[in-house]
Amino acid sequence: MFSLIKIFLVITITLVVLLTNLSCHRTPIEPEKTKVNLIYEDALCTEAYFRLKTTEINYPARVDLYLNKDKVNSFTTFSDDTVFVIENLLPKKSYTSYVRVYPEGGRELVSSEVSFVTMDTTSHDFTWQVFEFGNCGNSVLFDVAIIDENNIWAVGEITMCDSMWRETRYNAVHWDGSKWELKKIAGEGWWECRTIFAFSENNIWFDARINWNGSRYNVYTNGWPLLSNGDGWQVNKVWGTSSNDLYAVGDKGNIAHWDGRRWRKIESGTDINLRDIYGNNLSDDIYIVGHEYSPVLKSVLLHLKEGKVTKIWETCCLFEKEPYGTSLRNLYVKDNWLFTLGKRYIKENIKLNTKPKRITNILYDMVYEFKGTDKNDIYAFTDLGEIYHYNGYSIKLVFGRPFSEYFFHGGRAKDNIVVGVGILPRGIYNNPAFLVLGRRK
């Protein structure tokens, strides 16, 4: 019996020793993953944006970037929050990415793998129709609103003469899907309408102060701000989120806000003529550009948020300084991306605070309107009768030719419909307004 107990004790001690030795020889530790976090932020057609967050590591740290298992780049970070971009990607393609981080004096850290898909491009292929309005005097169209392909408005001044050369003036035209109808927008007598903004077919604003509600025109001038010398100012563009949150910009640096009850002036900090306004659909950030020729060429870019204006950029005197230059007069905002254009496309991400990047130049001419439907579908309307289309990858002249006879003042795009408006100069007298209607094939 004693022998059995002795044998049992020997076996037990042997097993304890073996288990202790095994516990001291662990398998090799995998590279730690908890201290690096790779976050996918956004992708365009040929580039993707990421945020790298690191914790409890020493800097500087080398970062090796991998795309579809292949190392494609290395950079050094000095911060626990780093934004970077992967470029030269292909449109409409799936990718995976991860990073390996090598902190100063530390061991390798590996992020988890992130999957993403780049945007597809849009087609450059359109069919076009050209319409003229006005048979005497000088006519012009300045702005357009597209509700759908069978409901389009354009505004300006159109003069029609009867057989006795008696003039009748209109300030809008409307497309019902088959024909254009000349319109007189009601209000305080007749006036030349400069801008239009439509929320729906029954909620349309003309020159900021007159609203069509589907059955009648209503005039809203309560509190309409005046310049310090008592003169009224010209409205150049309107933008808003609803009829209780509407903004108007115009000459001499004027900005006004309509809250559904009255207009209130917002101090801009500039006296440059403000040309365009557009808001971010993902935040309450609003951007405004200004441009004027006299007495010197000037440009300004403003940021408006919660009623306060911040000046981002201002320049003058023919110096094409980077990044925006002196020709800045148009903008478009979509999904945290700000696109601006003078003689060059500039893009930057508002949320990620990326450095403004030039996409391409537009030579020879001035762009009078610049709008789109998405980050891969943007249009530039020039003073030489051209429409350029940026599809997220390339830019192409899709209407007109260099030095054509048309002169665009405005334009818009929605879904697969593009409309440009302006004047057809033919001489001192009898210059009709024109409208170009494009449909993507």
pLDDT for the residue 36: 94
* The token pair that represents 32 in the structure block: 């730690």
Q: Is the dihedral of CA 356, 360, 366, 367 positive or negative?
A: negative
pLDDT for the residue 399: 95
Per-residue pLDDT of the chain (441 residues; tens, 9 = 90+): 445 445 444 455 554 444 444 444 444 444 444 689 999 999 999 999 999 999 989 999 999 999 999 999 999 999 999 999 999 999 999 999 999 999 998 899 999 999 999 999 999 999 999 999 999 989 999 999 999 999 999 999 999 999 888 999 999 999 999 999 999 997 556 679 999 999 999 999 999 999 999 999 999 988 888 766 566 788 999 999 999 999 999 999 999 999 999 999 999 999 999 999 999 999 999 999 998 877 778 889 999 999 999 999 888 776 666 677 777 888 999 999 999 886 667 889 999 999 888 876 665 457 889 999 999 999 999 888 899 999 999 999 999 876 678 899 999 999 999 999 999 988 777 899 999 999 999
pLDDT for the residue 114: 97
Q: pTM to 2 decimals?
A: 0.88
Closest by CA to 332, choosing from 239, 252, 254, 248, is 239
pLDDT for the residue 227: 65
pLDDT for the residue 332: 96
Q: How far apart are CA 60 and CA 77, in angstroms?
A: 6
Query: Quick check: 146 and 165 in contact, CB under 8 A?
Result: no
pLDDT for the residue 204: 98
For residues 142-174, one letter each, b for 16 or more C-beta atoms within 10 angstroms of the residue's C-beta and e for the rest, the string is bbbbbbeeebbbbbbbbbbeeeeeeeebbbbbe
Q: How far apart are CA 210 and CA 357, in angstroms?
A: 39
Q: What is the CB neighbour count within 10 angstroms for residue 350? A: 17
Q: How far apart are CA 300 and CA 289, in angstroms?
A: 6
Cα angle 379, 87, 61 (rounded to 5 degrees) comes to 140
3-state SS record for the chain: CHHHHHHHHHHHHHHHHHHHHHHCCCCCCCCECCCEEEEEEEECCCCEEEEEEECCCCCCEEEEEEECCEEEEEEEECCCEEEEEECCCCCCCEEEEEEEEEECCCCCEECCCEEEECCCCCCCCEEEEEEEECCCCECEEEEEEEEECCEEEEEEEEEEECCCCCEEEEEEEEECCCCEEEECCCCCCCCCCCCEEEEECCEEEECCCEEECCCCEEECCCCCCCCCCCCCCCEEEEEEEECCEEEEEEHHHCEEEECCCCEEEECCCCCCCEEEEEECCCCCCEEEEEEECCCCCEEEEEEEECCEEEEEEEEECCCCCCCCCCCCCEEEEECCEEEEECCEEEEEECCCCCCCEEEEECCCCCEEEEEEEECCEEEEEECCCCEEEECCCCEEEEECCCCCCCEEEEEEEECCEEEEEEECCCCCCCECEEEEEEEEC
Q: How far apart are CA 256 and CA 242, in angstroms?
A: 15
Q: In the chain, what are the domains?
A: 36-117 (2.60.40.10), 126-440 (2.130.10.10)
Q: How distant is the alpha carbon of residue 438 from its chain centre?
A: 21
pLDDT for the residue 328: 81
